[in-house]
Amino acid sequence: QVEQEVFNFQAEAVQILDLMVHSLYSNKEIFLRELISNASDAIDRLRLELLARSELPEAEGRLRIRIGYDKDAGTITIADNGIGMSREEVIQNIGTIAKSGTGEFLRSLTGDQRKDAAMIGQFGVGFYSSFIVSERVVLTTRRAGLEPSEGVRWESDGKGEYTLETIERPERGTTIVLHLRDGEDDLANGWRLRSIIEKYSDHIRVPILMPGEREDKAEEAAGTAGTDITVNRASALWARPKSELTDTEYNDFYRHIAGEPTDPLTWVHAKIEGTYDYTLLLFIPSRAPHDLWVPQARRGVRLHVQRVFILEDTGQILPNYLRFVRGVIDSTDLPLNVSREILQGSRAVGNIRTTAVKKVLKRLAELAESEPEKYTAFWKEFGTALKEGIADDYSNRNEIAKLLRFTSTKSATDDPDTSLDAYVARMKEGQEHIYYLLAPSSTAAKSSPHLEAFRTKGVEVLLLSEGVDNWVVSSLREYDGKELQSVAQGAGDLGALADEEERQTKEQADAEYADLLGKLKAHLAGQAWDVRLSTRLTTSPACIVSNEPEIDINLMQRMRGTGL
């Protein structure tokens, strides 16, 4: 007998469903992109599972996505022969939102709608977009490897409840039937659906089939038309030669894989042949993903082996400081059943990693050189992440250092516009060090008494106010043979820049104030190491400096703040 069970959606799911339907209406077409992307993921996962058991996908029939429609019934059908779902998986994957970031998604939905419509792919709520155009959705599915009697039928109007039923389903995979809302009938149209697929899903590597057009009644009667046609190009874009690809194609591909509405800033596309053969197509986004600072956040480089998607990079391929890079790496050398453990020790992966990092850094250097506005945009979004590379990637330290941008006492605004090369080029005659000041904020930096003498002498000082800057200066230590020197540490002397006259004045003053200094020292015993007379200050009466080999005061303050 048929048993239908009623379930409630998780509370967040109801909220999301509701908001989505209302706020994404102006982008309603995206439902198809989301459902096709799920179908394609399901096929990728089936492929992997079969590979792990060393069965060829062909043995199970041609893998494809099929899109159908029925004008009269007002339905659209999306069917795949991918991995399918068990009953438990349906409850887990469709009835609940497991992923983080839903709160963020809800907030973003209330903002600029156009931007958010393209972002839903990032939040793991794509399936729900089907309710933008449907009053009822019926999903039937069977997990690969389960018996035909273990099929599942899920149905919902997206209002708070869904029903589940165990059914007989001979074929593996998932079929989704959308019952269109009143007024959405125009979507149940071959031409319309094809144009949506071309727009959003051309790069899906699985063939997307649609019933062929029946040109006229005679043809239909003769049965000569109506055979399936493949709507998408189903080609791996990265495998095509660079010369054949247009910027539009790259941009579309990026938006597709990154789930981002904006075009990338730039990309690297290279085919490497040698000890190891692989292709890489890596994009630098134009803005940071919402989870750039979430540890364990999703990465965006997908590893393929001979064009089959294998896994998403979790740090084996690109280092953490380049976690914002999106793209594809396709290797011919790795085994198809490669796992994360194998990746870890693989020489091929080591080689890919080295090259990929170098290529990205080189592309960034080119961008800084030839398109400075774009580079400024890049730095604004990702500069802080890139700075981590100074401490994390010793072998590319110099390349990364060249890419750094800081605010300095010579900057016109608060924007970081000074490279170390520019600083070095502006160094005063006789200046030996690259001077910097660490401060909790740029306002604090600019008003620091430590800068007075440097200002008077016209010596530029880099103003560092990000947490990560502490690690940058303590790891970098020098650039172009010039030591980095904090103006807040030790004597903070100007080296050869201090002139003879100053030295004499100081000697005189030291003698003159010896008595006062002695009293101050006695008074501050146990709190200050020393009390010295300084020539660095021009308007402030006193300032605190740290003992030379000791840790910087700014760092101490920060560490206290973090409770370390």
Which residues sit at the interface with ligand ADP, rule CB under 6 A? Answer: 34, 38-39, 42, 80, 82-85, 93-94, 124-127, 174
Measuring CA to CA, which residue among 423, 300, 408, 413 is closest to residue 356?
Answer: 300
DSSP 75: E
Residue among 140 and 407 whose Cβ is closer to ligand ADP: 140
The answer to whether 82 contacts Mg ion (rule: CB under 5 A) is no
CB of 122 to Mg ion, least distance (A): 10
Residue among 176 and 282 whose Cβ is closer to Mg ion: 176
Q: Is 9 known as a binding-site position?
A: no
Which entry of Mg ion, ligand ADP, none binds 80, CB below 5 to 8 A by partner kind?
ligand ADP
Q: Is 174 known as a binding-site position?
A: yes
CA atoms within 13 A on the CB side of 436: 30
3-state secondary structure of 352: helix
Q: Is 38 known as a binding-site position?
A: yes
The answer to whether 40 contacts Mg ion (rule: CB under 5 A) is no
Q: Where are the beta strands (DSSP E) in 118-272?
A: 134-142, 151-156, 161-167, 173-180, 208-211, 228-230, 266-272
Answer for the pair 476, 390: CB distance below 8 angstroms, yes or no. yes
Stretch that binds Mg ion, among 83-91, 118-126, 185-193, 227-235 (CB under 5 A): 118-126
Answer for the pair 532, 517: CB distance below 8 angstroms, yes or no. yes
Q: Is 253 known as a binding-site position?
A: no
Say how many Å lie between the first and final Cα of the chain, rounded. Answer: 64
CB of 126 to Mg ion, least distance (A): 3
CB of 249 to ligand ADP, least distance (A): 24
Which position among 38, 316, 346, 411 is part of the footprint of Mg ion (CB under 5 A)? 38
Q: Is 506 known as a binding-site position?
A: no
Distance CA(27)–CA(188), nearest Å, equals 17
**Size of the residue set binding Mg ion (CB under 5 A):** 2
Give kind and range of the element (H or E) at residue 196. Answer: helix 190-200
Which entry of Mg ion, ligand ADP, none binds 438, CB below 5 to 8 A by partner kind?
none
3-state secondary structure of 430: coil
Residue among 79 and 280 whose Cβ is closer to Mg ion: 79
Question: Which residue is at the shortest CB distance from ligand ADP?
Answer: 126
Who's near 532: CB < 8 A, 6+ residues apart? 491, 517
CB of 129 to Mg ion, least distance (A): 9
Strands 434-438 and 482-486: parallel
What residues are designated binding site for ATP? 34, 38, 80, 85, 93, 99-101, 122-127, 174, 340
Tell me which residues touch Mg ion (CB under 5 A): 38, 126
Residues placed in the known binding site: 34, 38, 80, 85, 93, 99-101, 122-127, 174, 340
